[in-house]
Structure 1
Amino acid sequence: MKNQELQHGLVIAAYGKRYGVELDDGREISCVTRGKKTDLACGDRVNIKLTDTAEGVIESNDTRTSLLYRSNAFRSKLLAANVTQIIIVLATTPSFYEELLNRCLLAAEAAGIEVVIVLNKCDLGDKQEAMAKLQRYEALGYRVLHMSAHEDISPLRPLLQGHTSVLVGQSGMGKSTIVNALLPGQQVRTQEVSQVLDSGKHTTTAAHLYHLDADSHLIDSPGLQEFGLHHLDIEALERAFIEFRPYLGKCRFNNCRHLQEPDCALREAAERHEIHPERLQYYQSMAQELLR
């Protein structure tokens, strides 16, 4: 094409090595990256050279205000960029993994992003057990919302206003149902739940950004079954447990890992039930994972 000037746009879909980009003039085009670069995510602001009327090459991305990602010992998976809020979607059925909830919370704290925990499908099954689990997180100061996206999405709407939010959670928790309820014209694929396996079937294969209004945006991410935190060091991990912060630096040893060391302020706080023992156990398990 003759016009080789850089165009500015927003990544609204991420399909592996190909990205959907919304240009500032409102057009949506399909893009690849220059070379082998694949470290982009929904929510990234990017600069593009058009190669055709509906295709382009991403040359660079702007500085991010935030980045949410997960990692194992070998690679990282970017989930969303420039978000101001994470909506962790849980459900009364299928049952949710509490360890996955904890890992999502830790990633959010480490990235400095606000959190809302949504317990969805409160019209189905017995919600008392799930609600009891979440009381611990409410006591820590996390906002917990109980609702049924199928019946009434209105409790969530005001919490999304003015934010770029990303929905995260296991498959089958109802993330796509939430997007459908908020944006009925988008026809997002809903997830079927296998009652035999008590787990969700993956239907969202790519992250996608939707505009709720001019100031509010929502990123629907693929369902998670794991959330590695190998990008955190031990110091970042311990600070990501918000209730640990008053006790950090008060152990006998400056390099205390809060595992077996004597006179550990965190372990003593857990013995006094000032810190929930299970949260300390989650920390110890993750710390050992990082130290291997």
Structure 2
Amino acid sequence: MTHTAQIITSYGRRYIVRTPDGQTFDATTRKKRVDFACGDQVEISPINTEQVVIEDFLPRQSLLYRQDAWRTKLIAANVTRLLVVLAAVPSPSEALLQRALLAAEAAEIDAVIVLNKADLPETAAWREKLKFYESLGYRVIETRALEGAETLKPVLQGHTNIFLGQSGMGKSTLTNALLGSQAARTGDISTALDSGKHTTTHAQLYDLDNETQLIDSPGLQEFGLHHLEAANLLQYFPDLRHLAGQCRFHNCTHRAEPNCAVKAAAEKGEVRAERVEFLQRVTDELIR
């Protein structure tokens, strides 16, 4: 007999699931399946009073991926709001921000940019840089780690949220502030490497209230986009989607093809050349 539960912790091949009545179980999968993610609603079969087997996942509202040089992994399922956490120190990656926003558009997830550690003097340059993303319709919220909880609570309310970003951006500190506990481990920034230590080693789901959940995820260096179709990419760029269908070729890579509407718009200064370059890079990834 199967029951339903939600995955609240993902360790890769081992999971913790919670049933609607609040019971938690250690969970494994059949045949070493790894196509489950934190936030998934799943069917489980009991093994004993503490362990269950995940049989399958229920239909998902959304799915997010991470990737490294070798493989793509699932980060989280059924997220309705994605918060990209940036901080001027250690150096954040604008490419990671762009990829996360692209994935959010493709999954129809509302995306918010959180500029953390806003009291640092180095923040001014990023505050200016993020004005472009605000012009695309993305909200930018400034936080100061422990003081950020109250600012973020109304934004998170009623959603299944996820904090995404590189290590060292303050995601776990923000999570602790929201929870009012040290549920997420925090670590010192490694200034020698100019990158944060990976203090969160697995995806973990927390309940903020009966209607609001928060997933704290491991620090990302790369964001997975391999599940997207190159032909659909323009639709996920708020500043370029008006050009969809205007190129001469339906499978245009926006590089050397004649009568490319995207390149023509960039040459006229109607769209940002660096956004077209980003579109080209992702297109190249997807058609290799």
Normalising TM by the smaller chain, what interval?
over 0.9
2:262 aligned residue:
266
- DSSP 3-state at the match of 1:123: coil
13, 20, 24: which one aligns with 2:20: 24
List aligned pairs for 1:30-179, cutoff 5 A.
30-71=26-67, 75-179=71-175
Q: Which runs of 5+ in 1 are unaligned?
A: none
Q: 1:7 aligns with which of 3, 14, 17?
A: 3
The AA in structure 2 aligned to 1:195 is T
Contact 2:67 2:224 in 1 (8 A): yes
Picking from 229, 234, 239, the partner of 2:235 is: 239
Separation (CA, whole Å) in 2 of partners of 1:16 and 1:105: 24
- Aligned-residue offset at 1:72: 6.5
Aligned mates of 2:47, 2:248 — CA distance in 1: 62
Q: Which moved more, 1:170-179 or 1:141-150?
A: 141-150
Query: CA distance change for structure 1 residues 37 and 278 in 2, over 3 Å: closer, same or farther?
Result: same
Q: Contact 2:63/2:76 (CA < 8 Å) preserved in 1?
A: yes
Q: What's 1:217 paired with?
A: 213
Alpha-carbon distance in structure 1 between the residues aligned to 2:77 and 2:180: 25
Identity of aligned residues (%): 52
CA contact (8 A) 1:71 1:231 kept: no
Residues 196/72 of structure 1: CA separation in 2 closer, same or farther (3 Å cut): closer
> Per-residue displacement from partner, 1:187-208 (whole Å, max 9, x unpaired)?
3101321122211110111000
2:96 is matched by which residue type in structure 1?
Answer: L
8 Å Cα contact 1:71-1:228 kept in structure 2: yes
The separation in 2 between residues aligned to 1:74 and 1:233, in whole angstroms, is 20
CA shift for structure 1 position 73 = 8.1
Superposed displacement of residue 167, structure 1: 0.9
1:284 aligns with 2:280: yes
Between the aligned partners of 2:180 and 2:251, the Cα distance in structure 1 is: 53
256-265 or 174-183, larger mean C-alpha shift: 256-265
In 2: Cα distance, 1:237 partner to 1:72 partner: 21
CA distance in 1, matches of 2:185, 2:80: 25
Distance 1:31 1:66, change over 3 A: same
Count of residue correspondences: 288
Deviation per residue, 1:109-160 (Å, 9 max, x gap): 1111110010101112321111111111111111111111223421111000
Distance change in 2, residues 1:51/1:289 (3 Å) = same
RMSD after superposition: 1.5
Structure 2 stretches lacking a partner, 5+ long: none
Give me the TM-score of the superposition, normalised by structure 2.
Answer: 0.95
